[in-house]
Structure 1
Amino acid sequence: MNKQILMAGVAAGLALAASAAQAQSVDYGSLQQLFDEPVTTSATGSPQRSTEAPADMQIISQDEIRRSGETSIPGILQRVAGIDVLNFSVGQSDVNVRGYDQISSPRLLVLINGRQVYLDHYGLTIWQTLPVQLSEIRQIEVVKGPNSALFGFNAVSGVINIITFNPKFDDLDVASVRVGDHGFRDYSLATTFKLGEAISARVSGGSRQQDEWARTGPLPLASDVTDPNTVQAAIDVVAQLNPKTDLRVEGSWSSSHQDGLAVNTYTTDKMITTSIKATLTADTDFGLIQVQGYQNGLTAKYPFALWNNTITVFSAQDLFKIGADNTIRLGAEYRHNTLNTAPLTGGEVSYDVYSASGMWNWAITEQLTTTAALRVDSLKLKREGTFPNRIPLDDNSNWDRTITKPSVNLTAAWRPTANDTFRLSYAQGVQTPSLIELGGVQLASTPFPGFTIDIMGNPNLKPSIVSNYELAYDRQFSAAKIGVRLFEQDWKDIKSGTDTSGLVLPPTATHNAAIYYINASDSKMKGLELTASGSFLPGFNWRADTTYTDVKDSPFAGVNVTKKYVAFQSTTPKFRGNIGLDWTKGPWEADANLHYVSEFKFYSMAAVTLEPVKAYASLSARLGYRWDNGLALALSGQNLLKERQEQTRGLEAERRVQVSLSKSW
């Protein structure tokens, strides 16, 4: 009888939460208490457990972030099943989902509260630029596979959705200082406050600096590396305009200086980002209507070029129910993206994207739910300005082009019992070329007197299309939980890097020879992911995962995938995984995580060749103590097994240890 009463209470609670999702801002804290675990509303707009969402998702909570002792978001993501993190330097990591590992990974959509924070000029994420402190992150949602139809433009291999504490519902006041060896210094502050009864705000800021990993060979050159540092600031204001309408305004700024690995050469780069965003949410008779606009600015200073990128996005959506079982979301979006040409200046490349989307979530029975989502993006490319002397394609009309492609997500989730969940899904995503690939780069090289090669963008580059098929199963036991994922991906028209060893266009009487990005290959990937977690003895929890991937490249005629930097069959490890343990007892808490990666190959620093990276394991750990007055002291470290370890073909990862002191009030 008690079990029946409990199940009835949970069912009533879920119905109440689904109704509450139609309110203005989402109170994740209350939803987490109701579900007794972190909850997502990102995929459908209604609260769901991660195992019930129409996407393969894992949620990392604030408690897990704190206990990990990691100093960066890539370090935290490395603990997630199926996530590959390439650590090229202490200042640069690239995050990939289930393989297809490469420098400046362009396939991952990264969001903070629904605003994209990957950098549009290259379509990459430089994690140091993200204007968010680890202490103000409520949860990180890690979504695997193409999910453009559910999450937005260019979400082709996955989504990292960072959700911060909402000042309307959350009382957050924390200051922290972390110092360590190798010059590590990290200071951060995040605080919320009220401005009357209707306005709530959160401000945050931080700075970090540390010594770069030591050089152990002739490459990279000493002049190519620097000690990274970053400064960030953000503000988040929520105003309740009336009982059914909220206005949320967010602004941020960051300045970061770090090493970047571009192709097979390290460079010292500086990135300055700005953003302003406003979101109006109203609960109306026609559903939950949300109107949003934001503008991101980027100044990217490379040793060889200076790019200024501005993206402006406006969107509107309506989330409503038809009866009790059907949830519908309709949306439209417009984005304008511009980039100057560099290092040879004189032009501007831009595109306008018009998008329409729809999502239908149907609870057929209490056990069976389906979700269908469709998004269509129509991109209109444009170029204005002048051209360098003798550069090929020197007519702006070559950029008069429109690309229209659909993205699809289809999912069926079945819960035959309260402890078992099956999910079958199909997804198709579209990876649009970046503005640099489409023409933002203009660089002249003179290998010998009298002969010039132009390295340039390609306005005729096709988007890459990925299709993903997945079967997932999750089982909850009394003291443990297991998960199984079977998946297969099919990539079409993968885009290359720039290969300086061979010409794409030969010289003519009026134009130089040229090298540019091309569609180089198709590829297929299949894989298996296993996860398990549980508890034993009071206060002890354990977790383990392993992911197997097998990639097969199909290069186009005449293409050398190694020289084009798309040799994913070689650069993707077969296995990666984690074994972790955490413990809490009163004010004490401890965490340890062993991350392992099987042997793979990566690009040499000396030439465009692939060289093996031996299988390795790395250990991170933290021991902390918290007093009742809000003070907390912790000792943490990363790469603890060895003083120095080869994890890519770049700089070797070093053992780092830190002590942190934080105060909450």
Structure 2
Amino acid sequence: MRYTGVLMALLSIFSTNSQAADPFIDDMSLEELVKTDITSVSRKSQSISDVAAAAFVISAEDIRRSGAQALPDVLRMVPGIQVAQIDNGRYAVTARSFNGRFATKLQVLIDGRSIYHPLFAGVIWELDPIPLEDIERIEVIRGAGAVMWGANAVNGLINIISKPTRSQAGTTVSMTGGTRGNGHLYARFGQIVNDSTSWRLSAQGRHIDNSRQHDYPENARDRLDNSLIDFRLDHALGGGRDLSIWANATRTQTGDIWRTKPDWSQPGLRVSSYYPTQEMSSQSLVGRYRWLSDWGVESSLQMSVTNSGMEITNFIHESRTTYDLDYQGRRAFDRHDLIWGFNHQSSTDEISPNPPYISINGTSYTQRNTGIFIHDEWQLIADTLKLGLGARADNSSHNGTNYSANATMMWTPTRTDSAWLKLAQAPRTSVRAERDISIVGSAMVVQSSGFAIPVISYVNANGNLGPEMSRGLELGYRKQFSNTFSADLSTYRYRHTNLRTGSQTGQFSCSAFLPGQNTTACNYFGIPTAFPGTLAMFNLTQTVNEGAGWNNGIELSADWLPMPSWRLQLSYAWSTLKMDRSSDPIVNEDAEITERAHPRHVASLRSQWNIASNQQFDLWLRGSSGYQRVKLVDTVPNATGSPRFDTVGGYVTVDLRYAYRWNKDLEFALIGRNLIGANRVEYISDYIPTTATEIPRTWLVSTRWTF
């Protein structure tokens, strides 16, 4: 903590220029903070203290004071959300376990529009979806949300809500620079045209130089260049009607190191590296119309079209067009609050892979998903007991019709106490990459009879892969102990079935001295087979729905104002996975791999201190327990044939931020990130053997000017 003394000295210097004013946190009481409105649980505005779900809201002020430059880093403050930084731009983010490069059980929305990628079943976080400066709040719901938001909101939902344009009039410029060649530029111009119309246009650019590899004394190839432009128009039509239009374009370029290039010139297995460049782009146009009918029905209709592209040089190229349509209606009557709606998505791709290491069935495919839902909230006892019931049917062009359901009970015996119970069922439909892509999965060297024999696992496409299913129970309790202290506790137990896992379907060799020599298949992979051939074996596997297990956890958050100018916020999550065992050895291995790739403890403690009206000092202490990843490529001879693991160590670190506001329009900030401990690794690849990169200390200087 040697940096703390330096920063405190800076604080004492600046404090002599501070102006006397009211130094309250966000100018809000704790009761107001706890009762922040949230819309993502039931598609309607509710106090967070009055929802039957594990909910958490990140405000615009929380984002600014976090010092984070990327959206996933902001999410680290939420209990139950697991974030692992892969490299400069890529992240693995999940809710309640099953984390990976593409976490398949977390739905992410921007103003109600899904950014869940139809090819990979996850979110591509390096393709910045929205500038942090333009976010009004982030609503995070842990647990199943499929009834309201569709078949893939299994373990959680994140809804990013942008600021209304009337609050963004004028011009704002923000610049950040720091170590590691870290640069960030944001600019926005907004205008209130009249009483009914306002708009804003914002642009953002980010750059980070290459980081360091963890296992090799050289730089990684993860230099990040990102650009984003975002437009929003809000127009009030009168009579309870309004129209909003969004337009967004983003582009990112980064590199990687894949240690997957085999050398068959000598016995055993040797690999060298490919250096692919990843370029991605996305352009979206979104429109939303809301109106109130004469008979009291509140309606919302949202439509969007997105064109996107992805190219990983020498491996895969994808272009995609996606159309989304979403309608919801709401009517309150007697003691009921009824919400219903439907949505439809059509996504067409054109994909060009580079065999043999990646191949695909069909270079073009259109995925269609249609869903309808209904949900009723019934006041059994006014202001004390509510019952919620919801159901949804989703039809997928590949997975048929799947059903989601939930039942909730909310009990509020006093103004400061609330307890809730939730039963839920949520499916997760398969995506194109899981069904149609064949890929080299892993490789190891087995020591047998004095020979070192490479064994390569090749995963064949399975066009019959079906949906996964989750069913479970959640319990929660919220308590506002005083005007300065509140806490929220939730616990859950979910049963996951039909999970993706592997199953061996065949085997062949590339040598006459090994059983099952297949010259044609080995030539396809460029492996010599002329006598005596290459001592190499291939295990052919296929992804199937044979995994199952229990997911249990406890999540705690607490908010405390020790004094009006100082806020402390704690979050902690404990979780565990217990996977079923099987007579199939591949299914068993996958179960062990899933269990061990899971940190059980994640914690965060944030301190927000308003030193004076124009000075802020923020400290963020956070950490995670360690976990293990299977070695996708293991070149050391292995006598047992069992997979071996790499350890991703647990960590504790701290971020600091000191901000000085020169006047109401100009602010300067000094930010330090990851200041405790040596450079660490947060992630080892789970699907392609990419190089592990280190997360270093970073110092940033930022200025924000509004005029």
1:623 maps to amino acid: Y
Question: Partner of 1:551 in structure 2?
Answer: 577
In the alignment, is residue 484 of structure 1 matched against residue 478 of structure 2? no
CA RMSD of aligned residues (A): 3.2
CA shift in 2, pair 1:379/1:639, >3 Å: same
Amino acid at match of 1:227: R
1:647 aligns with 682
Give the 3 Å change call, closer, same or farther, for CA 462–329 of structure 1 in structure 2.
same
Q: Does 1:373 align with 2:396?
A: no
Kindly report which structure 2 residues correspond to 1:127-206, keeping only aligned pairs within 5 A, or say none: 127-168=125-166, 171=169, 173-206=171-204
Contact 2:652–2:677 under 8 Å retained in 1? no
Aligned-partner Cα distance in 2 for 1:664–1:78 = 28
1:178-235 deviations in whole A, cap 9, x for unaligned?
Answer: 000110010012332133443221211100001132123239x86x723011000111
Residue aligned with 1:64, SS: helix
Per the alignment, residue 648 of structure 2 pairs with 613
1:231-273, Cα deviation, whole Å (9 max, x unpaired): 0011111222343322211111100113469899985421111
CA contact (8 A) 1:192 1:200 kept: yes
Change over 3 Å in CA distance of 1:263–1:355 after alignment to 2: farther
Instruction: Pick which of 490-499 and 359-368 moved more.
Output: 490-499
Q: The residue matched to 2:74 in structure 1 has which SS?
A: helix
1:342 pairs with one of 345, 352, 374: 352
Which residue among 312, 318, 338 is the counterpart of 1:307?
318
**CA shift at 1:369, angstroms?**
1.8
- Calculate percent identity across the aligned residue pairs: 21
Asked whether the 8 Å contact 1:253–1:272 carries over to 2, the reply is: yes
Q: Aligned-pair distance for 1:413?
A: 1.1
1:284 matched to 2:293: yes
Letter paired with 2:242: D
Structure 2 equivalent of residue 663 of structure 1 = 705
Specify which of 192, 215, 234 is matched with residue 238 of structure 1: 234
- CA distance in 2 between counterparts of 1:136 and 1:484 reads 30
Shift of 1:605: 6.3
The within-5 A match list for 1:259-274 is 259=255, 268-274=277-283
> Structure 1 pair 487/186, CA: closer, same or farther in 2 (3 Å)?
same
1:437 maps to 2:434: yes
- Kindly indicate whether residue 17 of structure 2 is the aligned counterpart of residue 38 of structure 1: no
**What per-residue deviation string (whole Å, max 9, x for no partner) do you get for residues 505-551 of structure 1?**
x9999999965432241111111122222011341111222211121
Residue 438 and residue 263 in structure 1: after superposition, are their counterparts in 2 closer, same or farther (change >3 A)?
Answer: farther
User: Quick check: 2:502–2:587 contact (8 Å CA) kept in 1?
Assistant: no
TM-score (norm 1): 0.84
CA deviations on 1:6-27 (whole Å, 9 max, x unpaired) are xxxxxxxxxxxxxxxxxxxxxx
TM-score using structure 2 length: 0.79
Contact kept? 2:593, 2:630, Cα under 8 Å: no
CA deviation digits over 1:374-414, x for unaligned, max 9?
A: 11101123xxxxxxxxxxxxxxxxxxxx5111111221111
Q: Matches of 2:34 and 2:237 in 1, distance apart?
A: 31
Q: 2:620 — aligned with what? A: 593
Does structure 1 residue 459 correspond to structure 2 residue 446? no
Distance 1:581 1:172, change over 3 A: farther
SS in 2 for 1:342: strand
8 Å contact from structure 1 (residues 341, 442) kept in 2: no
> Could you tell me which of 556, 560, 577 is aligned with 2:586?
560
8 Å CA contact 1:173, 1:191 repeated in 2: yes
Q: SS at the partner of 2:212?
A: coil
Shift of 1:498: 10
User: Which segment is superposed worse, 113-122 or 557-566?
Assistant: 557-566
For the Cα contact (< 8 Å) 2:97–2:598, is it kept in 1? yes
Q: Give the aligned residue type for 2:51.
A: A
1:575 maps to 601
Look up the SS of the partner of 1:567 in the other structure.
Answer: helix
Task: Give the match's secondary structure for 1:438.
Answer: helix
Which shifted more, 76-85 or 44-53?
44-53
Output the CA distance in 2 between the equivalents of 1:657 and 1:498.
47
- C-alpha spacing 1:353/1:648, structure 2 compared with 1 (3 Å): closer
- Pick closer, same or farther for the CA change 1:497–1:75 going to 2, 3 Å: farther
**Counterpart of 2:663 in 1: which secondary structure?**
coil
Q: Name the CA distance, whole Å, in 2 between partners of 1:375 and 1:68.
A: 37
Shift of 1:64: 0.8
- Report if aligned partners of 2:459, 2:543 keep a CA contact under 8 Å in 1: no
Structure 1 counterpart of 2:414, one-letter code: T
Check 1:334–1:200 CA distance in 2 against 1; reply closer, same or farther (3 A cut). Answer: same
Letter in structure 2 aligned against 1:258 = T
Q: SS of 1:125's equivalent?
A: coil
Q: Which moved more, 1:167-176 or 1:633-642?
A: 167-176
Structure 1 Cα separation of the partners of residues 558 and 237 of structure 2: 45
CA distance in 2, matches of 1:257, 1:232: 12
Larger Rg: 2
**1:357 CA drift (Å):** 0.6
Q: Which amino acid letter does the alignment assign opposite residue 319 of structure 1?
A: R
